[in-house]
């Protein structure tokens, strides 16, 4: 037995026991699995059988609706509204269980943890202070709280900042796999359609195939791509791309960066350096620093937004993969706590599926029926 | 490191409880409300949370907990046990084809951007290193531009063959031909990389079913981003329903996610998590141990993973030699550099420190950040010393130090600091090893029940002194 095994056995107590245990478990695992399945599926169904069926039997898209928001959010809205009403029908103002169920419902609807707790706490408080008894009152409070929250998350400066007299520089940042490169391609396509000259900078010199990916997109949409070899200095690519965009009289420069987890200090420093290079070459650039967020991300999106804002002064968010089942409710909390507006949403795979974000549409998409009811 | 936020919240929840001897029903109720919020905030699926809280509450209401003298501890233990159960209790091994049945076939599936292609490379590398396999990767992502290029680059870096047929051929054909090719080349594992797709995209999900029935894989891995929110369960459920996945690989666990997906997926799909991706490098890939993860979540460290990482990176004979050197006070700058390299290979220093039981409760431990550049600077300083200076630090006069500062392009103060730190740690090592190395396993022994385990559970401030000493050593390295 080597040194490390000795140390290890000191922690586990015995070293010989382990092996037979493992094999025993693999034999037993089938039995225990069965009982676990039963447990997990049984419990929630008892408490809300109609709800579970609602969710699964809901068709994914009934008819192609004209409005992409409507289309994307229809499913969630119907079940959410109905369930909220069902829940409110047994509004028990003093019953903690009622509030916990409400919290579960909001969290499942992807409203986000902070927003959920805020809504539930407001209702708890109002129920006590106003001595509320009726379902109508409860509903009114919930809707009002939600609408107020959306109001707060809708800062005035959600318009995309374009440099009218020259080159607009946009820097894209975010964690790995959120869709930065694809978003750049979509945006490039839309600007080229408008008759503008677009330059792309392949600033992701780390991930295998990233440069090639951007190059292929550049060819497809008709944008020039500035790049170096894999492993090269991304700040140098940024510098070159600015020179090149200036010389060729381009209207817009979109800079791709490698995905990085926000807790990697050295990678965040690298990003800061890239930004410094941009500002040194063009004083008021980058005109936009867009944080790309995956709508399926949970609470961690808040950390992402916070740290990326600290290091690169993010000016807006692109919310991608909104065509799935996630609703991206976390952007509420981000808007409320950090004041970063969502500027674009990705709603599909095609080049035209990047849309300017409309807070009101997003909000009313989720809560339209509810608001109409109470008015 | 993932889960830290959750750890912090749970520890806050338990802090009041730990001080109590006897626990009342109301205490348990209060704590479980906090636990519930902590789990929800960590993105654990709300149904899973509901069941979890119910189970723990029921078990904690029993006589042996409420009546006993250390009821608080027992509640913590119940939470630990249930967390482990939630994640699947035991580590489950990867499945291989029976001998003589041809190559083992794996399929990587998942949403866009989950990390399938990188994970395919990591898995291939892992199987070659630890299971002595000869893997081949198959590029069946024909949709994302340059996906094939990405896999080929990874294959080149790892020196593992990649089979591809361009992006004009159907994934089914690529997969089947890939397996034929693997047989011809005498490869025993085939890893098929597929395109990312939404779980509600019927056409593309159907395509995966076709690939599945064509190649009959031994494992279908669902690759899931550990940062996924409540939607994780929808995704896992749909993939499982349509493909009957065999296991899950969690990626991006090196972020600061609270990791709710890890806790929910097993409970909802009943499919085990077998591996985790823990960094950007292609060897940042580890088997998933539910019990260790539960310990880590509850802030009890993960000493086993720490030892295993050391085992991987450090040559045992060299380590024994090094220990001998320390005992005999012959430890020099060459050893220092060697150890520093080994430490770096084991992963970010702040992660390593947090695997030591009790460490995460140190004030300021959460803010401890080590810039890899600092390590590089230290190395540069040592590299600017002559061979004699490295072996005998006593030689380092002011004049020599100035030369070293110039040579390494560092400030003279930094050189002084490093040499001072080196001497201090050398002294301490001498003392520690001359004392009783034998006492060390008493201190660590018995896992959670051992002294350190108890310290971690109590979060006792009286033991802070020992912690501090340790931290100093680690930092210097």
The answer to whether A237 contacts chain B (CB < 8 Å) is: no
In chain A, what are the domain boundaries?
67-155+368-374, 168-356
First to last CA, chain A: 76
Sequence-ordered list of residues with C-beta below 8 angstroms from that of B24, at least 6 positions apart, any chain: B66
Q: Please tell me whether the peptide bond between A286 and the residue prior to it is cis, using omega within 30 degrees of 0.
A: yes
Q: Is B245 helix (H, G, I), strand (E, B) or coil?
A: coil
- Give the closest of A117, A303, A330 to B229, CB-based: A330
Of the candidates B274, B285, B265, the residue with the CA atom closest to the CA atom of residue B93 = B274
Of the candidates A261, A349, A348, the residue with the CA atom closest to the CA atom of residue A311 = A261
The Cα of A69 is separated from the nearest Cα of chain B by a number of Å equal to 17
Tell me the CATH architecture of domain A67-155+368-374: Up-down Bundle (1.20)
Mean pLDDT over A168-175 rounds to 94
Higher-pLDDT residue of A367 and B82 is: B82
> Rounded to an integer, what distance in angstroms lies between the CA atom of residue B437 and that of residue B450?
16
B198: closest chain A residue by CA: A324
Contact residues, chain B, for A36 at CB < 8 Å: 267, 270
Mean pLDDT over A2-7 rounds to 54
pLDDT value, residue A274: 92
Complete DSSP assignment for A108-141: HTT--HHHHHHHHHHHHHHHHHTT--SHHHHHHH
Interface contact B316-A2, CB threshold 8 A: yes
**Tens-binned pLDDT, residue by residue, of chain B (477 aa):** 567 778 777 878 777 776 766 778 888 888 888 889 888 888 899 889 999 999 998 888 876 777 676 777 788 888 888 888 888 878 889 999 988 888 999 999 999 999 999 999 999 999 999 999 999 999 999 998 899 999 999 999 999 999 999 999 999 999 999 999 999 999 999 999 999 998 888 899 999 999 999 999 999 999 999 999 888 888 999 999 999 999 999 999 888 888 888 888 988 889 999 999 988 899 999 999 888 888 777 766 666 666 676 666 667 777 777 777 777 777 788 888 877 777 777 776 667 776 766 665 555 655 666 667 777 888 888 889 988 888 888 888 888 999 999 988 888 888 888 888 888 777 777 666 655 444 444 444 444 444 444 444 444 333 333 343 343 344 443
| Burial of A4 per CB tally in 10 Å (0-12, 13-18, 19+) | middle
The answer to whether A42 contacts chain B (CB < 8 Å) is: no
> Rounded to an integer, what distance in angstroms lies between the CA atom of residue A218 and that of residue A203?
14
Tell me the CATH architecture of domain B104-297: 3-Layer(aba) Sandwich (3.40)
pLDDT value, residue A200: 94
Higher-pLDDT residue of B217 and A54 is: B217
The Cα of B85 is separated from the nearest Cα of chain A by a number of Å equal to 10
> pLDDT averaged over chain A?
75
The answer to whether A210 contacts chain B (CB < 8 Å) is: yes
On the question of pLDDT at A30 being above 50, the answer is no
Of the candidates A318, A188, A29, the residue with the CA atom closest to the CA atom of residue B272 = A29
Least confidently predicted of A21-30, A289-298, A329-338: A21-30
Cβ(A215)–Cβ(A202) below 8 Å = yes
B36: closest chain A residue by CA: A100
Cβ(A69)–Cβ(A366) below 8 Å = no
Classify domain B303-476 by CATH number: 1.10.260.30
Interface contact A298-B311, CB threshold 8 A: no
Strands B273-277 and B189-194: unpaired
Neighbours of A71 (CB within 10 A): 18
Interface contact B149-A212, CB threshold 8 A: yes
> Rounded to an integer, what distance in angstroms lies between the CA atom of residue A208 and that of residue B343?
26
> Rounded to an integer, what distance in angstroms lies between the CA atom of residue A27 and that of residue B247?
17
Contact residues, chain A, for B46 at CB < 8 Å: 103-104, 107-108
> Rounded to an integer, what distance in angstroms lies between the CA atom of residue B184 and that of residue A218?
38
In chain B, ranges of CATH 3.40.50.300 domains: 104-297
On the question of pLDDT at A3 being above 60, the answer is no
Q: What is the pLDDT of residues A194-235, one digit of tens each?
A: 899 999 999 999 998 899 999 999 999 999 899 888 888 999
Interface contact B270-A40, CB threshold 8 A: yes
Inter-chain CB pairs, A–B, below 8 Å: 216
Tell me the C-alpha to C-alpha distance, in Å, between residue A144 and each of A126, A368, B82, B415.
Answer: 12, 13, 39, 63
Strands B273-277 and B285-287: antiparallel
> Rounded to an integer, what distance in angstroms lies between the CA atom of residue A181 and that of residue A197?
18
Domain B4-86 class, CATH top level: mainly alpha
The answer to whether A49 contacts chain B (CB < 8 Å) is: no
User: Where are the strands (E) in chain A, listed by range?
Assistant: 168-173, 198-203, 224-226, 252-257, 288-294, 316-320, 342-346, 354-356
pLDDT value, residue A285: 85
pLDDT value, residue B339: 76
Sequence-ordered list of residues with C-beta below 8 angstroms from that of A136, at least 6 positions apart, any chain: A374
Helices (H) then strands (E): counts for chain B: 23, 8
Of the candidates A326, A276, A330, the residue with the CA atom closest to the CA atom of residue A299 = A330
The answer to whether A44 contacts chain B (CB < 8 Å) is: yes
Interface contact B89-A25, CB threshold 8 A: yes
Length of chain B: 477
Neighbours of B443 (CB within 10 A): 14
> Rounded to an integer, what distance in angstroms lies between the CA atom of residue B156 and that of residue B148?
12
> Rounded to an integer, what distance in angstroms lies between the CA atom of residue B62 and that of residue A274?
59
Q: Is A263 helix (H, G, I), strand (E, B) or coil?
A: coil
Tell me the C-alpha to C-alpha distance, in Å, between residue B186 and each of B2, B132, B211, B219.
Answer: 39, 14, 22, 20
> Rounded to an integer, what distance in angstroms lies between the CA atom of residue B248 and that of residue B94?
11
Mean pLDDT over A37-60 rounds to 36
The answer to whether A323 contacts chain B (CB < 8 Å) is: yes
> Rounded to an integer, what distance in angstroms lies between the CA atom of residue B357 and that of residue B331?
27
On the question of pLDDT at A300 being above 80, the answer is yes
On the question of pLDDT at A169 being above 60, the answer is yes
In chain B, ranges of CATH 1.10.260.30 domains: 303-476
Residue A208 has, within 13 A of its CA and on its CB side, a CA count of: 22
Mean pLDDT over A230-256 rounds to 92
Interface contact B111-A216, CB threshold 8 A: no
Quickly name the fold that domain A168-356 has.
Rossmann fold (3.40.50)
pLDDT value, residue A114: 83
A42: closest chain B residue by CA: B51
pLDDT value, residue B83: 85
Mean pLDDT over A324-328 rounds to 74
Contact residues, chain A, for B149 at CB < 8 Å: 208-209, 212-213
The confidence band for A279, taking pLDDT boundaries of 50, 70 and 90, is very high
pLDDT value, residue A125: 87
């Amino acid at each position: 037995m080597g040194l490390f095994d000795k140390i290890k056995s000191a922690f586990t107590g015995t070293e010989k026991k382990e092996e037979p245990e493992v094999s025993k478990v693999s034999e037993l695992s089938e039995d225990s699995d069965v009982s676990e399945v039963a447990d997990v599926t049984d419990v929630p169904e008892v408490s809300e059988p109609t709800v579970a069926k609602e969710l699964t039997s809901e068709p994914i898209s009934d008819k192609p609706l004209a409005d992409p928001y409507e289309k994307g959010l229809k499913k969630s809205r119907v079940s959410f509204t109905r369930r909220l009403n069902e829940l409110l029908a047994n509004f028990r103002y003093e019953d903690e269980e009622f509030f916990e169920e409400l919290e579960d419902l909001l969290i499942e609807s992807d409203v986000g943890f902070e927003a959920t707790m805020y809504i539930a706490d407001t209702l708890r408080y109002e129920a006590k202070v106003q001595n509320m008894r009726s379902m109508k009152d409860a509903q009114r409070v919930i809707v009002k709280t939600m609408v107020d929250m959306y109001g707060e998350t809708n800062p005035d400066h959600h318009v995309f900042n374009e440099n009218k007299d020259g080159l607009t520089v946009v820097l894209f940042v975010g964690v790995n796999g959120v869709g930065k490169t694809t978003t750049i391609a979509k945006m490039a396509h839309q600007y080229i359609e408008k008759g503008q000259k677009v330059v792309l900078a392949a600033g992701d010199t780390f991930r295998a195939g990233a440069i090639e990916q951007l190059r292929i997109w550049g060819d497809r949409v008709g944008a020039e791509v500035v790049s170096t070899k894999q492993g090269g200095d991304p700040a140098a690519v940024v510098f070159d791309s600015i020179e090149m965009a200036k010389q060729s009289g381009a209207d817009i420069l979109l800079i791709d960066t490698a995905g990085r987890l926000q807790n990697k200090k050295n990678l965040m420093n690298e990003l800061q350096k890239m930004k410094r290079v941009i500002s040194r070459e063009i004083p008021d650039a980058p005109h936009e620093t867009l944080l790309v967020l995956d709508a399926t991300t949970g609470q961690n999106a808040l950390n992402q937004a916070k740290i990326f804002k600290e290091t690169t002064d993010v000016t807006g968010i692109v919310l991608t993969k909104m065509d799935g089942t996630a609703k991206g409710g976390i952007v509420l909390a981000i808007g409320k706590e950090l004041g970063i507006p969502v500027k674009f949403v990705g709603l599909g795979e095609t080049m035209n599926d990047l849309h300017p974000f409309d807070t009101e549409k997003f909000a009313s998409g989720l809560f339209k029926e509810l608001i109409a009811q109470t008015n | 490191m993932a889960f830290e936020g959750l750890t912090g919240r749970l520890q806050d929840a338990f802090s009041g409880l730990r001080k109590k001897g006897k626990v009342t029903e109301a205490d348990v109720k209060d704590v479980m409300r906090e636990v519930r919020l902590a789990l929800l905030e960590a993105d654990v699926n709300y149904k899973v949370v509901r069941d979890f809280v119910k189970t723990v509450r029921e078990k904690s209401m029993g006589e042996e907990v409420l009546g006993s003298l250390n009821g608080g501890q027992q509640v913590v233990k119940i939470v630990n046990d249930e967390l482990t159960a939630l994640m699947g209790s035991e580590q489950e091994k990867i499945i291989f084809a029976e001998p003589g049945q041809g190559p083992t076939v794996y399929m990587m599936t998942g949403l866009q951007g989950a990390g399938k292609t990188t994970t395919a490379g990591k898995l291939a590398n892992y199987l070659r290193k630890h299971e002595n396999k000869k893997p081949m990767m198959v590029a069946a992502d024909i949709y994302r531009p340059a996906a094939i290029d990405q896999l080929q680059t990874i294959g080149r870096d790892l020196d593992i063959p990649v089979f591809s047929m361009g992006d004009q051929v159907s994934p089914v054909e690529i997969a089947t031909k890939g397996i034929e090719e693997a047989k011809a080349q005498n490869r025993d594992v085939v890893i098929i990389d597929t395109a990312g797709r939404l779980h509600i995209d019927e056409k593309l999900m159907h395509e995966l079913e076709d690939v599945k029935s064509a190649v009959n894989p031994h494992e279908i891995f669902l690759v899931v981003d550990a940062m996924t929110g409540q939607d994780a369960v929808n995704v896992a459920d749909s993939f499982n329903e349509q493909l009957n996945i065999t296991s899950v690989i969690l990626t991006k666990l090196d972020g600061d996610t609270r990791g709710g997906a890890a806790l929910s997926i097993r409970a909802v799909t009943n499919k085990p998590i077998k591996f985790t991706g823990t960094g950007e490098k292609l060897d940042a890939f580890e088997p998933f141990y539910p019990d260790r993860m539960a310990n880590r979540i509850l802030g009890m460290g993960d000493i086993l993973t720490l030892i295993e990482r050391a085992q991987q990176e450090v040559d045992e004979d060299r380590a024994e030699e090094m220990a001998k050197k320390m005992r005999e006070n012959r430890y020099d700058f060459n050893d220092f550099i060697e150890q520093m390299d080994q430490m770096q290979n084991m992963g970010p220093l702040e992660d390593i420190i947090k695997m030591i039981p009790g460490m995460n409760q140190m004030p300021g431990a959460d803010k401890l950040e080590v810039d890899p550049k600092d390590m590089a600077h230290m190395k540069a300083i040592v590299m600017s010393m002559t061979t004699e200076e490295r072996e005998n630090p006593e030689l380092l006069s002011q004049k020599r130090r100035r030369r070293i500062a110039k040579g390494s392009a560092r400030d003279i103060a930094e050189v002084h600091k490093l040499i001072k730190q080196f001497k201090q740690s050398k002294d301490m090592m001498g003392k520690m090893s001359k004392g009783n190395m034998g006492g060390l396993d008493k201190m660590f022994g018995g896992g959670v029940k051992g002294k350190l385990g108890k310290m971690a559970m109590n979060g006792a401030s009286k033991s802070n002194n020992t912690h501090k000493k340790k931290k100093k050593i680690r930092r210097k390295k």
